[in-house]
């Protein structure tokens, strides 16, 4: 069991939680997660919460392989109106912000967000860890080899489990020394890893329980699924459910998903199975 202090609201992880993905960019790899209008987003978020999402992850920066970066100010132009709309209409919502810019993290938390989710775990903006510590919100740090523009250009590891475990040991130490109390780790499926590396990492996900932190996984509709099955991202819901279930069996605490209803069913069945 873990607990997270989300800016005064206690979030208990006594069972696997679901994080619903909302992308505010036209460049997201999966069309079904892209939204332009604040009120369309409000309706989708309400649906996700009704289906079982505890956290909503908003992202305005595309981080798919080969993506083009936008500035922190451009991110904020997209994020702040949506945060405002959601806080007005769904006041109890727990909003996570998917960003690697410390400025975006700070302004988003001021607007009502309560978790920061950084694909680089503070490596792309060296002010991020200090900023999150000052904001006193949970920090999701992900492992990524390289940067989004080039991370999938023949990623190589001598021992992927050891390399990522060592990365998190160092990162957790850095975060705790700066004063971040609530740290979630994300092994970074699809971020500087090829298909076999992703599947190997999922198979051995349990090794990260040594860190005694919540483990989040984001495998939803990713290329490890649709390239293996020779289908499209749009056809990858069943494959996503399979990999999410494997993740749950191997110790995942949070599933980051596009399809909340299916993920909730997986969690419910997993819990029934676990208690049988």
Catalytic residue among 42, 256, 261, 264: 256
In the residue annotation, 34 being an active-site residue is answered as no
Share of the chain residues as helix, strand and coil, in percent rounded to the nearest 5: 45, 15, 35
Catalytic residue among 87, 222, 261, 264: 222
In the residue annotation, 256 being an active-site residue is answered as yes
C-alpha distances in angstroms, 105 versus 15, 95, 96, 125, 258? Answer: 27, 12, 10, 11, 22
Closest among 273, 122, 229 to 185, alpha carbons compared: 122
Contacts of residue 201, defined as CB under 8 A and 6 or more positions apart, other chains included, come to 160, 161, 164, 187, 189, 193
Active site residue ranges: 222, 256
């Amino acid at each position: 069991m873990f607990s997270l202090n989300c800016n005064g609201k206690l979030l208990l992880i006594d069972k696997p939680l679901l994080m619903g993905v909302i992308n505010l960019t036209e460049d997201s790899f999966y069309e079904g997660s892209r939204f332009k209008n604040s009120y369309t987003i409000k309706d989708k978020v309400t649906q996700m919460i009704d289906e079982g999402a505890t956290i909503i992850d908003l992202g305005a920066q595309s981080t798919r392989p080969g993506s083009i970066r936008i500035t922190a100010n451009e991110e904020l132009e997209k994020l702040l109106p949506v945060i405002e709309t959601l806080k007005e209409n769904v006041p109890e919502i727990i909003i996570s912000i998917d960003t690697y810019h410390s400025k975006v993290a700070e302004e988003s938390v001021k607007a009502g967000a309560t978790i920061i989710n950084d694909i680089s775990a503070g490596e792309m903006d060296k002010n991020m860890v200090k900023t999150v510590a000052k904001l006193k919100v949970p920090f999701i740090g992900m492992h990524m080899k390289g940067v989004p523009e080039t991370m999938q250009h023949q990623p190589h590891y001598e021992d992927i489990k050891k390399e990522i475990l060592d990365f998190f040991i160092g990162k957790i130490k850095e975060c705790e020394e700066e004063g971040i109390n609530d740290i979630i780790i994300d092994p970074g499926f699809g971020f500087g890893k090829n298909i076999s590396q992703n599947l190997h990492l999922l198979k051995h996900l349990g090794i990260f329980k040594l860190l005694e932190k919540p483990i989040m996984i984001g495998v939803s509709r990713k290329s490890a699924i649709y390239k293996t099955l020779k289908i499209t991202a749009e056809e990858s819901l069943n494959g996503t459910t399979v990999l999410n279930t494997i993740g749950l069996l191997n110790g995942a605490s949070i599933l980051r998903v596009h399809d909340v209803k299916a993920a909730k069913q997986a969690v419910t069945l997993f819990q029934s199975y676990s208690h049988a």
